[in-house]
Amino acid sequence: MTRTRPTHAVLLALLPLLLGSCRNPVADAAVAEALTAAGTEISQLQQDFSLMQNQLDSVRTVVARQDTIITRLAQMANLPISAH
């Protein structure tokens, strides 16, 4: 019986640690769901940014083309163009 008492004492000392380390599966599921939602939002933001970048590039192309046309028309009409 003297051998079992130290074993019981060790088990009783470790019991709060074991119980405290148990994780709540509902909380784990909530964290996993939140991380999945965050990942989806980040992916959507990346797609939106890519779309906006393409639109900006398109607008720059149109503005450059219009600027060239305006410059050529002004040169043909012998009109001075002031750079702003």
Does pTM top 0.75 for this prediction? no
Chain position carrying tokens 């060790």: 10
CA distance linking residue 36 with residue 72, whole number of Å: 54
Predicted local confidence at residue 4, as pLDDT:
58
Percent of the chain clearing pLDDT 90 (strictly above): 60
Closest-CA residue to 11 (of 22, 19, 23): 19
CA distance linking residue 48 with residue 42, whole number of Å: 10
CA distance linking residue 36 with residue 30, whole number of Å: 10
- For residue 79, give the 3-state DSSP assignment: coil
Higher pLDDT, residue 62 or 10 = 62
- For residue 1, give the 3-state DSSP assignment: coil
Q: Residue 54: pLDDT above 70?
A: yes
